[in-house]
């Protein structure tokens, strides 16, 4: 390792000390070429993935699904059923892999934990006053600690968009650092809520901010605002994690969430991951889909490949 | 002034209320016109569109469905000359129009003829009501091009089913022109979907599709293909209408069996008030 690389790393870790340094760094990031990013994302979406490659992609996508239910109407029974589905997505086919994780509200974590214990399926919980993030810091941290204590090993936090958009980067940074320390051993996913960030430049800045503050994953959206994950936004975030690893040596995962409903969509994302950051990220530890209805479509396509006939929604559970 | 160049028409598919080209990009030529040659993926897309339309169409009131079918007859009447220009005899267009009207009238009467109160020995009402079976795949007969087509589509949709029709490979122009009639008739998108091209490509996909509830093999003339399709349809116990005899008289009174073959029966017990 060269001396300059080492000094660059220590400089990055110092950024969080002052508001000015953070702002200078984040605003010094190169701007995103909007037309170029959208064009690139659209172009990668045209790849045709067939037969054995498609079968592999589908199994990988199933392993990457964070099976999510975040409704006011969630009940212990419903989340238990979802957790059972996470373990055996297709009960008719034992060769079908389990999903990456189940994602629920903190109050539902204990019920899911009973089902998932020892299975290798992670248990994620949203916390920090999800989805708005508009609560005092102590309450957000208490939310995180409660979820971890109940058995969650991944925490999906929301950033304080109000502070971010107002330019108070240090406040956002400090909140992420505090949340990370409240997580203990649990992995921290930082939700940027890109639909509320307005520009790709902001998405790039928020990505860097979240990674500098110690986030293990950066996630696009809560799924609670009209604009959720899109291909160009995910492209910008993938470029950020690639550049961050080049600068610091630390690898950060990416999780697009919301609006990904079909196998075709999921495969477009996988193609983009491979072309942007490479095969290192083609693993459930580094790339996840936040989704609920996507899983059934993946299972239907999987059934089509194994049986040769098109399946229908009647043959899969309604979640 | 130079002579006007004719605007030539491409006959495209009818899926979900839209007129897409085949996903495969292929076409074939019938009567000097380009007609889309559909692939199994077009068949899959058509089933998705038909399934999406079931809820709204089956949930519409029988009266409303009847009105829409009558509207189809009105539109067909207005396009009479267009069908005649394609080589459909005028008498046949008239007969096809009359058949739409005839089936339109059945929409709110069939439940009375085919359902009703069952006598039971207890303090209950016991009622049976016909319900649509869901998505129906239909292989249209080759002749008569228009009357045959109408005679297989109308009885399926009048009760609330949605259909994916494989048009006769030799007679696709009348089918696509009928699609233009349907598209301007207040019929919700996806209730009728029309595929043109080779039966051997699209129909096996429809017959084996787990999300199709019934298949009408009327237009299948190849006995071997018909047997294969029936075997495929057995996988999820589709209702099957077998191929029509070659000398079938399409102008005769059709009766109600085409409608009743594509129905399920819902029976409910209801306690009587004392």
- Between CA A57 and CA B70 the distance in angstroms is 49
- Between CA B47 and CA B163 the distance in angstroms is 8
Residue B3: inside a domain, yes or no?
Answer: no
Query: What pTM value is reported for the model?
Result: 0.90
A202-257 pLDDT, tens per residue? Answer: 999 999 999 999 999 999 999 999 989 999 999 999 999 999 999 999 999 999 99
Residue A317: inside a domain, yes or no?
Answer: no
Name the domain count of chain A: 1
CATH number of domain containing B177 = 3.40.605.10
Q: What is the pLDDT of residue A7?
A: 65
- Between CA A319 and CA A292 the distance in angstroms is 8
Residue A284: inside a domain, yes or no?
Answer: yes
Range of the domain at B49: 11-271
Contacts of A189 (CB under 8 A, 6+ apart): A124, A154, A155, A156, A157, A215, A216, A217, A218, A219, A253, A255
The Cα-based distances of B190 to A80, B182, B214 in angstroms read: 36, 11, 16
Say if residue A1's pLDDT is above 50: no
- Between CA A186 and CA A216 the distance in angstroms is 10
- Between CA B102 and CA B174 the distance in angstroms is 20
Cβ <8 Å between B208 and A308: yes
Q: A46 CB near a chain B CB, below 8 Å?
A: no
B44: chain A residues, CB-CB within 8 Å: 310
Name the domain count of chain B: 1
pLDDT (mean) for A125-154: 94
A48-100 pLDDT, tens per residue? Answer: 999 999 999 999 999 999 999 999 999 999 999 999 999 999 999 999 999 99
Q: What is the dihedral of CA B50, B52, B55, B58, to 10 degrees?
A: -10
The values of phi and psi at residue A8, to 5°, are -65, -40
- Is omega for the bond preceding A126 within 30 degrees of 0, making it cis? no
- Between CA B229 and CA B143 the distance in angstroms is 21
Residue B214: inside a domain, yes or no?
Answer: yes
Residue A246: inside a domain, yes or no?
Answer: yes
Q: What is the pLDDT of residue A17?
A: 85
A116 membership: H or E segment, kind and range: helix A109-116
Q: A312 CB near a chain B CB, below 8 Å?
A: yes
Q: E strands within chain A? A: 65-68, 101-104, 122-126, 154-158, 187-191, 217-219, 253-255, 289-291
Residue B258: inside a domain, yes or no?
Answer: yes
Is-contact A37 A232, C-beta < 8 A? yes
pLDDT band at A102 (very low <50, low <70, confident <90, very high): very high
- Determine the distance in angstroms separating the CA of A48 from the nearest CA of chain B, rounded to an integer: 13
A9-25 pLDDT, tens per residue? Answer: 777 888 888 899 999 99
Range of the domain at A146: 3-306
Say if residue A6's pLDDT is above 70: no
Q: Which residues of chain B have pLDDT under 50?
A: none
Residue A318: inside a domain, yes or no?
Answer: no
A311: chain B residues, CB-CB within 8 Å: 210-211
CATH number of domain containing A104 = 3.20.20.70
Is-contact A183 A152, C-beta < 8 A? no
ipTM of the complex: 0.85
B51: chain A residues, CB-CB within 8 Å: 312-313
Residue B2: inside a domain, yes or no?
Answer: no
Q: B51 CB near a chain A CB, below 8 Å?
A: yes
A292-308 pLDDT, tens per residue? Answer: 999 999 999 999 999 99
Q: What is the mean pLDDT of chain A?
A: 94
Nearest CA in chain B to A300: B210
Q: A317 CB near a chain B CB, below 8 Å?
A: no
Say if residue A2's pLDDT is above 70: no
User: Strand B116-117 to strand B124-132: parallel, antiparallel, or no bridges (unpaired)?
Assistant: antiparallel
Cα B60 → chain centroid: 17
Which tokens belong to A162? 């109000």
Say if residue A172's pLDDT is above 60: yes
DSSP class of B22: P
Q: Whats the size of chain A, residue-wise? A: 319
Residue A288: inside a domain, yes or no?
Answer: yes
Burial class of B69 by CB neighbour count within 10 A (0 to 12, 13 to 18, 19+): buried
DSSP B166-179: E--TT-HHHHHHHH
């Amino acid at each position: 390792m060269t001396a300059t690389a080492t000094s660059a790393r220590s400089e990055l870790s110092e950024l969080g000390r002052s508001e000015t340094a953070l702002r200078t760094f984040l605003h010094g990031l190169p701007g995103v070429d909007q037309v170029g990013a959208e064009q690139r994302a659209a172009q990668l979406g045209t790849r045709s993935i067939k037969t054995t490659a498609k079968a592999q992609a589908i199994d990988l996508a199933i392993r990457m699904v964070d099976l999510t239910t975040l409704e006011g109407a969630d009940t212990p029974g419903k989340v238990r059923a979802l957790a059972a589905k996470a373990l055996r997505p297709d009960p008719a086919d034992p060769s079908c892999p389990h999903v990456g994780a189940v994602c629920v509200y903190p109050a539902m974590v204990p019920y899911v934990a009973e089902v998932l214990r020892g299975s290798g399926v992670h248990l994620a919980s949203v916390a920090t006053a999800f989805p708005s993030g508009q609560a005092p810091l102590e309450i957000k941290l208490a939310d995180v600690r409660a979820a971890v204590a109940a058995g969650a090993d991944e925490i999906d936090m929301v950033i304080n968009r109000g502070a971010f958009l107002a330019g108070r980067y240090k406040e956002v940074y400090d909140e992420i650092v505090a949340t990370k320390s409240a997580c203990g051993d649990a992995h921290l996913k930082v939700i940027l809520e890109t639909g509320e960030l307005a520009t790709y430049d902001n998405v790039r800045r928020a990505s860097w901010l979240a990674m500098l503050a110690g986030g293990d994953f950066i996630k696009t959206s809560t799924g609670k605002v009209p604009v959720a994950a899109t291909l160009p936004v995910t492209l910008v975030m993938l470029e950020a994690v690639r550049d961050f690893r080049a600068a610091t040596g630390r690898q950060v995962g990416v999780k697009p969430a919301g609006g990904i409903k079909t196998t075709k969509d999921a495969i477009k994302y996988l193609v983009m991951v491979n072309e942007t950051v490479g095969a290192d990220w083609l693993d459930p530890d580094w790339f996840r889909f936040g989704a609920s209805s996507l899983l059934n479509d993946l299972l239907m396509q999987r059934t089509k490949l194994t049986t040769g006939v098109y399946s229908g929604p009647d043959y899969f559970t309604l979640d | 002034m130079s002579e006007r160049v004719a605007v030539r028409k491409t006959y495209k598919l009818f899926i979900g209320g839209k007129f897409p080209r085949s996903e495969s990009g292929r076409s074939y030529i019938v009567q000097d016109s380009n007609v889309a040659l559909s692939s199994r993926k077009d068949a899959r897309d058509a089933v998705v569109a038909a399934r999406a339309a079931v809820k709204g169409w089956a949930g519409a009131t029988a009266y409303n469905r009847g009105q829409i079918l009558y509207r189809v007859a009105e539109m067909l009447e207005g396009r009479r000359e267009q069908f005649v220009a394609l080589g459909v005899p005028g008498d046949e267009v008239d007969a096809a129009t009359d058949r739409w009207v005839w089936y339109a009238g059945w929409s709110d009467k069939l439940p009375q003829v085919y359902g009703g109160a069952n006598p039971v020995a207890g303090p209950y009402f016991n009622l049976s009501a016909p319900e649509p079976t869901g998505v129906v795949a239909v292989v249209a007969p080759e002749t008569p091009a228009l009357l045959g087509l109408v005679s297989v589509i109308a009885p399926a949709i009048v009760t609330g089913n949605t259909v994916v029709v494989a048009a006769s490979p030799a007679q696709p122009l009348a089918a696509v022109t009928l699609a233009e009639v349907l598209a301007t008739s207040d019929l919700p998108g996806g209730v009728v979907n029309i595929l043109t091209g080779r039966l051997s490509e699209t129909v096996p996909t429809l017959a084996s599709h787990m999300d199709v509830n019934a298949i009408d093999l009327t237009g299948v003339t190849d006995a071997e293909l018909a047997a294969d399709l029936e075997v495929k349809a057995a996988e999820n116990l589709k209702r099957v209408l077998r191929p029509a005899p070659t000398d079938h008289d399409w102008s005769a009174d059709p009766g109600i069996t085409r409608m009743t073959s594509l129905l399920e029966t819902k029976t409910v017990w209801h306690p009587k008030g004392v």
